[in-house]
Homo-oligomer: A and B are copies of this chain.
């Protein structure tokens, strides 16, 4: 591993940084980070989810997510309500303002996601995304916080 440039780990780090830079640039009018955006989307999909389950649903670290939620609450995009059944957990809900933000920001997010892959030919974009999706899925257990979307939903009301 003489030069670092050909190592997959190095390239994934670079791509992550590029993806974040593009996201932030496209969404700068909204002052929302990629992590905050993903959290909002998942809270909208699963209203009343708690922080631990949210961390499993988006595969983000539980400790980190705590401060992300704090910031989202400070910006009044979500609110935390005590759980009736379990005094330990706090349930997460989008506020009206959070729902509105999500509606407004989506075009910018889509533009960002498109820009990330834009330099490749359309066929190559498809190929890369297919392989990337596969690789993330197959390596799920290797990450510190594996994705547990299904399991997490088991414990919710799970109407849908």
Residues of A at the B interface (CB closer than 8 Å) are: 1-4, 6-23, 34, 37-38, 41-42, 45, 58-59, 106, 109-110, 112-113, 115-117, 119-120, 124, 127-129, 131-136, 138-139, 142-145, 147
Which of chain B's residues has its CB closest to A59's CB?
A: B14
Tally of this chain's copies: 2
How far apart are the CA atoms of A145 and B41 in the complex, in Å? Answer: 29
Q: Which of B1, B59, B124, B129 contacts A110 (CB 8 A)?
A: B1
Q: Given A4-B42, A120-B138, A138-B119 in contact, is the A133-B21 Cβ separation under 8 Å?
A: no
Tell me, in angstroms, the Cα distance from A23 to B129 when the chains sit together.
23
**Distance to closest chain B CB from A125 (angstroms):** 9
**Given A8-B129, A14-B147, A120-B135, 18 extra CB contacts under 8 A:** A1-B109, A4-B41, A4-B58, A6-B129, A8-B19, A9-B22, A12-B12, A13-B16, A13-B20, A14-B143, A15-B16, A15-B132, A17-B143, A18-B139, A18-B142, A18-B143, A21-B144, A128-B132
